[in-house]
Chains A and B, each alone.
Chain A
Amino acid sequence: AQSVTQLGSHVSVSEGALVLLRCNYSSSVPPYLFWYVQYPNQGLQLLLKYTSAATLVKGINGFEAEFKKSETSFHLTKPSAHMSDAAEYFCAVTMNTGFQKLVFGTGTRLLVSP
């Protein structure tokens, strides 16, 4: 079975500061990993995904994540936070064979202060 753990239900940064949202996964087989963002009263939007190609994945809005097998991590980063980045972020995992449901972490709410 797969699972993901997101450390920190809330992360606060100042505008212009580095954003780091942590995600660790557990999977018995090579996983596919995703980061989704959810703005208030909206559905989920895919930021980026890892599907066993490059370990450093670049996504939309300047976000990127690095797959580190040795650390079972897939942390999300952005060099400089913008006010519009304030949202809830979900890490998700699935297996890379057949269909398996997306298993989501509990989410991290990013707060950006001016």
Chain B
Amino acid sequence: GAGVSQSPSNKVTEKGKDVELRCDPISGHTALYWYRQSLGQGLEFLIYFQGNSAPDKSGLPSDRFSAERTGGSVSTLTIQRTQQEDSAVYLCASSQTSGNQYEQYFGPGTRLTVT
């Protein structure tokens, strides 16, 4: 079946612009996660959704970052007033539910470059 998809695959933006990154989880997966992978910081957790609510936003690095999930499916990560340090690969993952024994399936990521 279809895996986790993310769009766009690559995004180049100018410093100060807003960007939206999209994640389509595997159908039926109720849990959705955003991670960021950067050279300096490795793989970092950003936010977790269970259904449409976000019980854990502790990884969002600043108030310029926000995310929402609608209909228990698609999620959008928005970065406002982008900075060069936001350049990274943003990975989305989904799992059947929020139990830690359930595998998180990762999408291919969105590579964000802020110039």
Given contacts A51-B100, A100-B100, list 11 more A-B pairs with CB under 8 A: A32-B101, A43-B4, A43-B91, A44-B106, A46-B104, A94-B100, A99-B31, A101-B56, A101-B59, A104-B42, A104-B44
Looking at chain B's contact residues, is the secondary structure mostly helix, strand, loop, or mixed?
Answer: strand
How many residue pairs bridge A and B at CB < 8 Å?
58
Using CB atoms and an 8 Å cutoff, list the residues of chain B in contact with chain A: 4, 31, 33, 35, 42-45, 48, 50, 55-56, 58-59, 91, 93, 98-101, 103-109
Interface pair A99/B98, CB less than 8 Å apart: yes
Interface pair B43/A90, CB less than 8 Å apart: yes
Tell me how far the C-beta of A61 lies from the nearest C-beta in chain B, rounded to whole angstroms: 16
A106 contacts B by Cβ under 8 Å:
yes
Say which residue of A36, A45, A95 sits within 8 Å of B100 (CB atoms): A95
Say which residue of B42, B93, B103, B106 sits within 8 Å of A107 (CB atoms): B42
Give the size range of A's interface with the partner: 20 to 34
Interface pair B59/A41, CB less than 8 Å apart: no
Contact with B along A77-114 (1 / 0, CB 8 A): 00000000000001010111111111111110000000
Q: What are 28 sample pairs from A and B whose C-beta atoms fall under 8 A apart?
A: A36-B106, A41-B108, A42-B108, A43-B91, A43-B108, A44-B91, A44-B106, A46-B103, A46-B105, A49-B101, A49-B103, A51-B101, A94-B100, A95-B100, A96-B101, A97-B100, A99-B48, A99-B50, A99-B55, A99-B98, A101-B33, A101-B45, A101-B48, A101-B58, A102-B33, A103-B45, A104-B43, A107-B43
